[in-house]
Amino acid sequence: MQKSEGSGGTQLKNRARGDYDQRTSSSTQIKHGNTVQRNKSSLSTSSPESARKLHPRPSDKLNPKTINPFGEQSRAPSAFAAIYSKGGIPCRLVHGSVKHRLQWECPPESLSFDPLLITLAEGLRETKHPYTFVSKEGFRELLLVRGASEKAVPLLPRLIPVLKAALVHSDDEVFERGLNALVQLSVVVGPSLNDHLKHLLTSLSKRLMDKKFKEPITSALQKLEQCGGSGSLSIIKSKIPTYCSICC
């Protein structure tokens, strides 16, 4: 009887030990699994890509990689560039070894100034070659043709806002092209420009503060006075009181 009880006790002890070993093994597996999971999580978050996803930089929102609204390819061509590329300007740039020139498809004097002269004036705000050269040289050559005054004067109400846009442009070269174009126009239309002069003088007055533009602007004002006659002086002085007349 005692032998039987001894055998039964041994079985109970073995069963208890087996349950304990099984629980210990399961606990070890769970801990191991948690450790592996934490390691994977740590590896994933430690990568640069994951770090950016968890902690995005402010620049990521401003400069998404999927779009670049300020890239060259995403910019639509300007109105002048589009017209020129479609053959809307009846001249082409001819590259020379010393200097460039324009080749007109037909004699410039046979061309209508409306809207060609205005389109060329709009091109003065371009900042890339060949548009910069085509616009400034085309504007100049068109005003040199016979009968240019009769063709240009009726267009002044539409030309002046375009020239003003060039004169207020932040780019210095655009401003210089606008200033030269204004002088060229003044030579052709004479006193007819006086009625529109006040709309342009404010921007010239502001640029006078810049030393590098003081001389060319003063020279331009003198040309405007010379071509505009006595009526132009009072208009210039009303906007630029410091201007000294060429008659002084």
Q: Classify residue 17: in a domain, yes or no.
A: no
Residues contacting residue 87 through CB under 8 Å, at least 6 positions apart: none
Q: Which tens digit of pLDDT belongs to each residue from 195-243?
A: 999 999 999 999 999 999 999 999 999 999 999 998 999 999 999 999 9
Q: Which tens digit of pLDDT belongs to each residue from 140-172?
A: 999 999 999 999 999 999 999 999 999 999 999
Q: Which tens digit of pLDDT belongs to each residue from 76-125?
A: 678 899 999 999 999 999 988 788 999 999 999 999 999 999 999 999 99
Q: Classify residue 110: in a domain, yes or no.
A: yes
Q: Classify residue 129: in a domain, yes or no.
A: yes
Model pLDDT, residue 11 = 53
Model pLDDT, residue 228 = 96
Model pLDDT, residue 54 = 52
In this structure, what token pair is assigned to residue 39? 């390691």
CATH number at residue 141: 1.25.40
Whole-prediction pTM: 0.70
> What's the CA gap between 133 and 127, in Å, rounded?
10
Q: Classify residue 29: in a domain, yes or no.
A: no
How many domains is the chain partitioned into structurally?
A: 1
Domain boundaries, position 98: 78-237
- SS3 for the chain, per residue? CHHHHHHHHHHHHHHHHHHHHHHHHHHHHHHHHHHHHHHHHHHHHHCHHHHHHHCCCHHHHHCCCCCCCCCHHHCCCCHHHHHHHCCCCCEEEECCCCCCEEEECCCHHHCCHHHHHHHHHHHHHCCCCCHHHHHHHHHHHHCCCCCHHHHHHHHHHHHHHHHHHHHCCCCHHHHHHHHHHHHHHHHHHHHHHHHHHHHHHHHHHHHCCCHHHHHHHHHHHHHHHHHHCHHHHHHHHHHCCCCCCCCC
Q: Classify residue 156: in a domain, yes or no.
A: yes
**Percent of the chain, pLDDT > 70?**
69
pLDDT (average), residues 165-192: 97
> What's the CA gap between 160 and 175, in Å, rounded?
14
Q: Classify residue 165: in a domain, yes or no.
A: yes
Q: Classify residue 59: in a domain, yes or no.
A: no
pLDDT (average), residues 41-66: 47
Model pLDDT, residue 78 = 85
53 has pLDDT over 70:
no
Q: Classify residue 247: in a domain, yes or no.
A: no
Of 73 and 97, which is predicted with more confidence? 97
Residues contacting residue 50 through CB under 8 Å, at least 6 positions apart: 44
